Structure 1
Amino acid sequence: MKVLIIEDEELAVRKLQKTLQSVDAGAEVVGITDSIRASVKWLQDNKAPDLILMDIELADGQSFEIFDKVEVNSTVIFTTSYDEYALKAFKVNSVDYLLKPVQKEDLEAALDKYRKMKQLLSATDAPANINVDNLVKELQQRLQTKEFRKRFLVKQGQKLVSVEVDDIAYFYSDGRVNFFKTNDNRKFIVDYTMDELEEMLDPARYFRISRSFYVSIQSVDQIHDYFGNRLLLNLLPAVDKEAIISREKVSDFKKWMGK
């Protein structure tokens, strides 16, 4: 299966490639584009791939514009942080619609749906029509059940307390144990890895700046240039280790802060 990825965030591209490879080792990424203009040119200059993983919000507009500028003969799986585009997405060659961050099981289910649809159409020589109503109903059901973490149950002395995610300023690791600090400067141990937390937290509100730090947008007080093309954050409340944004995440962090 040949795949084109249309995505303007480098971190999202890398994560999508990794997830795709873990789901289908035989999938070949034949191209990566980051804008409407580049995507149109790629599609004009190359043979249509079997599948396109397409982000809806690109730097130069919404990717729906691609369909107005060039004929797209591939099946499309849309990825986005916003569910408002669902109906419009299914009016083009879409087999599914995945919300970011794209989960392995969701991509696996979408690819399985794509393969089954392809087999069915090949067996019947039918035109590649998609039942929009059924897909929209399925999407609505998924959106209604998909939720980010709302609270954490943690130890405080000899008792357990429930802490609302809204009250958490940031998560960090000392290399052995993971913690979070609340907005009122309380510190708790959290029994999840940083990778697990990345799947639990709303990406519109929390950003992983490095392997050992996950910050909320309200905790960022000041941003400073740091050597090695990195950034150093001053966080509120104050943290007892440096909050440094790794070089490969600087661009995505700036986009996140500017939304």
Structure 2
Amino acid sequence: MSTPKILIITGYGVNCEAESEHAWKLAGAEPELVHLNDLLDNPDQLENFQTMMFIGGFSYGDHMTSGHVFAMRVKHHMQTQLQKFIDDGKLIMGICNGFQVMTKMGLLPGLDGRYFEPTVSLMQNDCGTFQNFWCDICFEDSSPCVFTKGLGTLPLPIRHGEGKIFTLDNALLEKIEATGCVAARYVDADNNPTLEFPANPNGSLNAIAGLTDPTGRIFGMMPHPEAYLFPENHPNWDKQKLDGNLPEKGLGLKLFQNAVNYIVG
């Protein structure tokens, strides 16, 4: 197969396009930055891509809760094209604000193939304030998510004020767990899922840091893998170097490499 083409949506307050573009390039893909307005004017251009990405930032200033306005514009203007994109077996990734957009739109968790009926939300951190530091993230072996296969536990940066996965429907939460839709969790120093701050920066239910749909092809999470593309991005890289365990590449790159490997087969 030719080099995978990746659509990265930009504009209206999202701000991680440079890191995201570079991540896909390092993984061997061909990313293209497309402004939201240009995409809404011509949603049929989705046909040209194998993956689309909703990136981090503060779309529309986080008015009406994070990601809501962005999600509603996409949903109401290009739902038909987006559903076809999903039906064609393509990939969708959302990071931080992009994850918020995907939950507000209903793309995640996507149970029973229902992608435009929101069932969970990302709400304000329990601590009540924006948080910006590194967390340990455990990627679930049992999840079908193609982005996270075989990753184990990785340190990744978080920077958000509304990252708490929440629902009042306990039966729904149980179904999310039973279908393997939890792709990533916040863990403590012993690698156990935790609700305790700061290892869990937002109080997310069941320590959920990221979700996938049952197919494993649609994925979103709050931590930023695109912000860990180089070993020196890690805050303790100098100690890692002295200890002889500095990785050759930033560990966040692995999620993008997994996606590219899946696309090319």
TM bracket, shorter-chain basis: 0.3 to 0.5
Q: Normalising by structure 1, what TM-score?
A: 0.35
Q: Mark the structure with the bigger radius of gyration.
A: 1
Higher strand share: 1
Q: Which has the higher contact order (CA 8 A, sep 6+)?
A: 2
